[in-house]
Amino acid sequence: MPMESARLSRVAIVGASSLRGKELKQTLEDRNFPASDIVLLDESIMAGTLTEAAGEPTFIHALDEDSFDGVRVAFFAGTVADTEHNLSAAHKASATVIDMTGALALSGHVAPCIPSLAPCASPAPKSAGSVAPPQSFYSPPAPVIIACTIATALRVFNPHRVAFILFPPVSERDQAGIEELEGQTTDLLSFRPIQQPVFDAQVAFNLLSQHGQQSKPGLAKTRSEIARDVASYLPGRIPVPAIQLVQAPVFYGYAFAAYVEFAAAQPPEQLEAALANLGVKISAPGDAPTNVSVAGESELQLARIEPDPSVASAVWLWGVADNLRLAATNAVRIAEELVGNSPK
């Protein structure tokens, strides 16, 4: 990497075999994060799995008391349990923690961190020999980033109300969700009984307002967690959006529809300019984004804003983001702030 060795950071990814962990590793490499070494960590059952990092073959290592030795930034991308069990070890090793699992949010002491909206951390000290104390940051999932971005961009127009219908993909439930949708699709087309250990419901060829009773977490719990994180991030002067979730039968890509109502009609081009200023990509007329078109893209993408035909002061937004890449990019941006290496 084109960075001086003194500025290189040893990085650890806990939950490296998860979809989030894999996407995070790829994002670190794509953004040329100044890492001297990327340590891949996971449960002991995944230890020894051959993979690669920065183009070199490597193995996933089991978590133990020495896993964080020399680590400057530790990403937690696996499960809440992984974070809870290993957080103290990371702090003991003076590693800065960036949590993508929500464990820190559950503690009630750490608010979501979204660098594209506001700085989260101070860059590391530049003086030789100085060491910054370890910190903890919560990097939220895609729906929280989406809702906070839209609400923040539109606050200058003083909206009366904002409401989101979010369409989570099955990859939000990691590889098990992917396999369940794939298996159900195959079974239904073959007229076989379906298996539903993850969603406890038929998700293939279907839209769900709730999961089955045995699904943990269910849509209601996920919805409440998203609403909690959005409310904790947005300051009091920004209306907290209403949020509803509908499970979509898609593998990747977090789609949403948003209804925004103002005191008076607002020019759509001015709304689009405010969103673009926060890094949102506005599609060309007649070219709305889809789950397929956003694959591998790091930014939130919107169709052109449409006025509501019945309410003169209201508009509708349609947008999609690659849920894994958006969340991973947010986490890496936090780390880039920490090392003072944010891309221009």
Query: 96-122, pLDDT tens digit by residue?
Result: 999 999 999 888 778 899 999 998 865
User: 294 and 167 in one domain?
Assistant: yes
User: 165 and 237 in one domain?
Assistant: yes
Q: Are 229 and 112 in contact (CB under 8 A)?
A: yes
Lowest mean pLDDT among 55-64, 247-256, 296-305: 55-64
CATH code: domain of residue 86: 3.40.50.720
Predicted local confidence at residue 54, as pLDDT = 53
User: 87 and 64 in one domain?
Assistant: yes
Q: Would you say residue 50 lies in a domain? A: yes
Q: What's the rounded mean pLDDT across residues 18-32?
A: 95
Residue with tokens 């694959």: 295
Predicted local confidence at residue 246, as pLDDT = 98
Lowest mean pLDDT among 79-93, 130-144, 327-341: 130-144
Spatial neighbors of 124 by CB under 8 A, at least 6 apart, are 132, 338, 339, 340
56: confidence class by pLDDT, cuts 50, 70, 90: low
Predicted local confidence at residue 133, as pLDDT = 54
Nearest in space to 122 (alpha carbons), one of 266, 334, 343: 334
Global pTM reads 0.91
Q: What does the block give as tokens for 27?
A: 């994002």
Distance (Å, whole) CA 92 – CA 217: 31
- What are the tens digits of pLDDT across the range 183-216? 999 999 999 999 999 999 999 999 999 999 999 9
User: 165 and 82 in one domain?
Assistant: no
Strand 254-261 to 314-321 pairing: antiparallel
Distance (Å, whole) CA 183 – CA 160: 44
Q: What's the rounded mean pLDDT across residues 258-275?
A: 97
User: 179 and 282 in one domain?
Assistant: yes
As for how many domains the chain has, the answer is: 2
User: 316 and 280 in one domain?
Assistant: yes
| Domain interval for residue 334 | 5-140+327-339
Predicted local confidence at residue 341, as pLDDT = 58
Q: Is residue 127 scored above 50 in pLDDT?
A: no
User: 178 and 67 in one domain?
Assistant: no
Nearest in space to 271 (alpha carbons), one of 299, 240, 311, 313: 313
Distance (Å, whole) CA 264 – CA 163: 17
DSSP for 8-20? -EEEEEETTTSHH
What is the chain's mean pLDDT, rounded?
Answer: 89
- What are the tens digits of pLDDT across the range 173-186? 999 999 999 999 99
Q: Is residue 332 scored above 90 in pLDDT?
A: yes
Predicted local confidence at residue 109, as pLDDT = 76
Q: Would you say residue 265 lies in a domain? A: yes
Q: Is residue 235 scored above 70 in pLDDT?
A: yes
Helix (H), strand (E) at residue 40: strand 35-42
Q: What's the rounded mean pLDDT across residues 129-152?
A: 85
